[in-house]
Amino acid sequence: MRRLHSFNGGAHPAEHKAESTARPIAAAPLVPLYVVPLRQHIGTPALPLVRAGDRVLRGQAIGQAEGYVSASVHAPTSGRVVAVEMRPVAHPSGLADLCVVIEADGEDRAIDLQPLDWRGMEPSHLRNLIRDLGLVGLGGAVFPSFIKLNPGEAGRVETLILNGAECEPWITSDDLLMRERAREILKGAEIMQAMLHAGEVVIGIEDNKPEAIAAMQAAVREMGLGYEVAVVPTRYPSGGAKQLTYLLTGRETPSRGHAVEVGVQVFNVGTAYGLHHALAEGRPLISRVVTVTGHVASPQNFEVRLGTPIEDLIRAAGGELEGATGEIIGGPMMGFDLQDRAAPVTKAVNCVIVKDAQRFPPPPAPRACIRCGECARACPARLQPFELYWYARARDFGKTQLFSLFDCIECGCCSHVCPSHISLVDFFRYAKSEIWAREREKEAADAARRRHEFHVWRLEREKQEKAERLARKAVAQVKEAEAAPVDAEAARKKAILQAAIERAKQAREGVTPRNVDHLTPEQQHQVEEADARRARLHAGAEDQKETENQP
């Protein structure tokens, strides 16, 4: 048995997992219209590869990874592209983003999929393939997987962790995936292990998922793998990558660093599943498992094509019940309110919770902070949330950074336990985005200052140059006047020099294209005419310049 290392704080929110585990994963039905955002991952959005009117097949790339931190995007079904335009997406802001809108033709024809022999492949080539297959972390952070599959300078990682903790209440997509498709997850893990040269592979699962634990243990045994299924106590947020890493290895991921720096790499079980299918079948990431739960007729997990509008997905779960009050995307601890139900499922969407007034009542009016410290005792990052709150509320952003604002993982434990019902995390999100905005503004201002300084310097230089030119001209005139009394010697030298210049000039002009050596008089005439025209034009342009330069 592995010795577990307990992290600070955490919380025990009501689980509500049973609602959606009663039914198996179902394939969500095909819908007439898919809206596929080109930004479904952290980093630069994919570049659109299609235009309105193009026909696409299932699995065809419609967006190409752009820059390093990016991943490709693929058509979820066959059909016709009706638009590449801004559409509302699942984002806390409710703002629109660039999407490829595909009208399905109902045939669902796929491109020619080829299994990839990844074992013999050159690592960087394999990673590029994984990027082009659109693989990103499916736990919610959607970081492009190919970057994390690089063992880096060390050449290997010690521990590969498969994250099946799924600590957020209500969500069961990983749970069901592990119960039903354990072997495929492990095959994905084998690929990861080989790419990272991982010494050991540990699968972390919270102890409230006995079926998933049993299924994974059985699959590990059957496949003869030396992987360990580590059962961790149910305590939110044990599924956070940093928390799970600490739980299983006792190593703290450095502040603002990555797990790989302490020899650990963490992937969600869904990512491993997707990686297996991507390489074994050559199938790009065009679907994922999504939990639809809460106030719907039949809560269930669905394998959903990316781009499916969320309202269609809710319909697949029997539709919302009377008295629904909105939807949460993600879990109740870290998710966000959906602003527009037409927004599509993306790689980041692991759960849709339909709210009702009884289970998701409006938050009570906040009272004054009494510095009771409950939040600090609950904070897995060992922050002092009430201090941060104090400074964030006063917009003292320097102090918030000093109190390690950016080590906050926004898990929501502090707000969850606050007896005064203060929405602490809202303040932290506000402070973070404000600081980022100010950094952007500062960069823009600095760039503007540099360009303005250059502008001023350039004007100054031009003025100076003009002055110098004039001065030189004046001096030259004066000199000429002075030189008027003929100095025979100087005049002779000058004449020689002048003659040399003349000769050089003539020599330059004398070089004529070879094809004009033996011209007929007619041709000669044409050439002369053209030269004359050119000269006229040239003179004209000069004149124009003169007029323009006049103030």
Partner 1 sequence: MAAGGLTLGAVLGWASVRYRVQEDPLVEKIDAILPQTQCGQCGFAGCKPYAEAIAKGEADINRCPPGGEDGIRRLADLLGVEAKSLGEGLEHKPKSVAVIDEDLCIGCTLCIQACPVDAIVGAAKQMHTIVADRCTGCELCLPPCPVECIHMEVIHEDITTWKWRYPVYSIRPVRE
Partner 2 sequence: MTGAPFSLGPRNSTPRVMLKVLAALVPGIVAHYWFFGPGIVVSLLLTSLAAVGFEAFVLLMRNQPVRLHLTDGSALVTAWLLALSLPTLAPWWLYVAGSFFAIVVAKHLYGGLGQNVFNPAMVGYAALIVSFPLYMTQWPAPLELAVHAPGWADAFDLVFAGQGALSPDAYTSATPLDSLKTQILAGRTVEAVLGQPIYGLLGGVGGEWVALAFLAGGAALLAMRLTTWHIPLAFLAAVALSAGALHLIDPARHAGPLFHLMTGGVMLGAFFIATDPVTASTTPLGKLVYAGGAGLLTVVIRTWGGFPDGVAFAVLLMNMCVPFIDDYTQPRVFGKTARLRRRAP
Footprint on this chain of partner 2 (rule: CB under 8 A):
7-8, 11, 13-14, 92, 169, 242, 246, 252-257, 328, 330-337, 355, 360-361, 363-365, 367-373, 376, 380-384, 386-387, 398-399, 401-404, 407, 410, 412, 415-421, 423, 425-426, 429
Q: Residue 473 touches which of partner 2, partner 1, none (CB < 5 to 8 A by kind)? A: none
Say how far apart CA 479 and CA 482 lie, in whole Å: 5
- Could you check whether the bond before residue 92 is cis, i.e. omega within 30 degrees of 0? no
Which of 259, 258, 257, 239 is CA-nearest to residue 249?
A: 259
> Toward partner 2, which CB reaches closer, 148 or 355?
355
Q: Does 457 bind partner 1 (CB under 8 A)?
A: no
Question: Which range touches partner 1 (CB under 8 A), out of 149-157, 293-301, 435-443, 485-493?
Answer: 435-443
Q: Tell which residue, 5, 18, 2, 19, has the closest CA to residue 297.
A: 19
Q: How many CB atoms are closer than 10 A to CB 471?
A: 10
- 87 touches partner 1 (CB under 8 A): no
208's contact among partner 1, partner 2, none, with CB below 5 to 8 A by partner kind, is: none
330 binds, among partner 1, partner 2, none (CB under 5 to 8 A by kind): partner 2
30: Cα separation from own chain's centroid: 27
Judged by beta carbon distances under 5 to 8 A according to partner kind, the member of partner 1, partner 2, none in contact with residue 405 is: none
DSSP string, 241-275: HHHHHHHHH-PPPPTTS-GGGGTEEEEEHHHHHHH
Min CB(140)–partner 2 separation in Å: 12
Of 37 and 204, which CB lies nearer to partner 1 in the complex structure?
Answer: 37
Residue 152 or 366 with smaller CB distance to partner 1: 366
CB under 5 to 8 A by kind: which of partner 1, partner 2, none does 156 bind? none
467 lies in the site for partner 1, by CB under 8 A: no
Decide: is 447 part of the binding site for partner 1 (CB under 8 A).
yes
Phi, psi angles (nearest 5°) of residue 30: -70, 145
Site for partner 1 contains 434 (CB under 8 A): yes
Detail the DSSP E strand segments found in 125-199. 159-163
Task: Indicate the residue among 147 and 353 with the shorter CB distance to partner 2.
Answer: 353
Cβ atoms of 289 and 25 within 8 Å: the answer is: yes
Cβ proximity to partner 2, 256 vs 508, nearer residue: 256
Tell me which residue of 397, 385, 394, 395 sits closest to 423, measured CA to CA: 385
Taking the chain, what is the end-to-end CA distance rounded to the nearest angstrom? 87
Is 3 or 545 the residue whose CB approaches partner 1 more closely? Answer: 545
Give the residue with the Cβ less far from partner 1, 158 or 434.
434
Q: Which is nearer to partner 2, 100 or 414 (CB)?
A: 414
Residue of 27, 93, 222, 361 interacting with partner 1 (CB under 8 A):
93
What is d(CA 302, CA 205) in angstroms, rounded to the nearest whole number?
21
Going by C-beta distance under 8 Å and a sequence separation of 6 or more, which residues neighbour residue 2?
A: 202, 228, 230, 248
Q: Does 89 participate in binding partner 1 (rule CB under 8 A)? A: yes
Tell me the two tokens of residue 391: 């400074």
Which amino acid is residue 126, in one-letter code? L
Burial of 504 (C-beta count, 10 Å sphere; 0-12/13-18/19+): exposed
Q: Quick check: 146 binds partner 1 (CB under 8 A)? A: no
Cβ-proximal residues to 132 (8 Å cutoff; 6+ apart), any chain: 61, 64, 65, 72, 284
Binding site for partner 1 (CB under 8 A): 39, 89, 91-93, 95, 97, 363, 365-366, 395, 423, 426-427, 429-430, 432-434, 436-437, 440-441, 444-449, 451-452, 454-456, 458, 548
